[in-house]
Structure 1
């Protein structure tokens, strides 16, 4: 029997009798910067439940202690007096001989406090390392499994794809949810087919229900709810054929994987850059033609090598490292596309 002709489930029938209300979404806490400042004894404060796996940076603490500037207030969990953000400033205050420190107090659960700690460390101060951010994402996935990959990525400074990989690598004990909360606070189904199926059941029970009501109850957009209603009116399955298989889309290969694949297709290790350019300059078809000489000039300007990068990377500020890594990947992706095109041309002409 087609899915759109199935009888509504008992749970859907029960819920359809109630007044339709939007799903309950956790409200974000007020920004810590808006909390009033209070002075607290340093001896009363507990060390932070920090996302930094290696703890505080001693040199950074000394730099802050030697500075003449007034340091911003630290953030403290009101219930436990545990530092949420500002351990470097707290250590610097101790070195300065202070007995009190300016604090802003945060009220909320310990899981929410950890999320705030990650957000504030991403926004300012000494940057978190990639390992710190990935570990933080794994912990937030355990405490907030209903959050979408993009929502957790926004908190941790990772890409949504990286968060998805961490989620898939979680233990089998991780609760399997049918919906997630996005960065905008809206609830959306993990599987779009489930939301459409639920909307179809609700329309069958309450044909006069508005699109927005059904969309809120089913966790889909009003546009999707409209499409479901139109499909039902035409006697079609509310779930499009492309969603019935529920097959995950393959992720595009990374530049590193593409390079390894091209090397394996070639059947051996790639020659070094200088050897390849030297052989091209000796090739008569390149050396004695205008197009060949233009090619050599183009390659001389672009086929450069990042010689000495091992030395340069040590002088790069941590917060710039991610941007430069992204730049290197972008350049690698462009050259992979060139290599793939040329490889295909060579195979077609063979």
Structure 2
């Protein structure tokens, strides 16, 4: 026989205080800023530093700044901050350089078409990827060059010496980034090759270009290279800079990609060979997708460094964004105590916009492609 028994409490448990809050701003401050005595000291020091640094920066950039609509006398006044009226007045020069004013529509079309073609390539779900890639990598460069330089279809000729500002910065960085990718991948594969001749040539190329600073490469391309050319041969200065930047960037990119290739287990190579795939097919379909996914941070880091290093072309007389800012700082019409500083702040902000965008896109791609350990 089964007997059901039950326990009935005959005494109540004493009341206890309600549990403390597990969230809210107070708990966040305790957990992140005042968890230990050292954290509290660092927090206090950080607050003191911000109270010391932020007000002057705010007053210079916004509080005491002279915005568009102001005059040069306002910028020269005592205690005036950034002269944004000067940036507004010289904005076209910072973007287009010495490009003819009545022809601004040509670089504007190039800017619009470039953005319209590159944005779908950056969106994985966008349709017509192959057509878009062909248009951007093959058609757009040719169309953009003839549209900017002119001399055909009734367009007035504009030599590259008149190109400048942000236009030249974007041209050099985009050409260097796009052209260095396939060249860097081929150099990385060549360095991993079992053929001694190919491996030696790739190693020599990579080590040679990595041993030279970019400024030396630009000087060689701009000053020394014409001395080795046949008499009467004249190679465009911008083209020489583009070739030098591309070769320099490809050497660094090759080492980043090689790190990704070495990180793959040997079984991936053997699996591709066991399927009967040729070297190029297993490299294209199996090896490279995995290797490049692992080294996305390094690749984007190289791209960001290359974009910032384009400012070095100003040393060889190419009017990129930084060089136009430096040239405009000698403008007597807008001469003021904060003229040069305002120009450099503007240039730094422009560089920050593009570098920050590349960094954010890199992080987004890393999260999207981080599927190796998900279940």
Higher helix share: 2
Q: TM-score, normalised by structure 1?
A: 0.20
Higher strand share: 1
Q: TM-score, normalised by structure 2?
A: 0.19
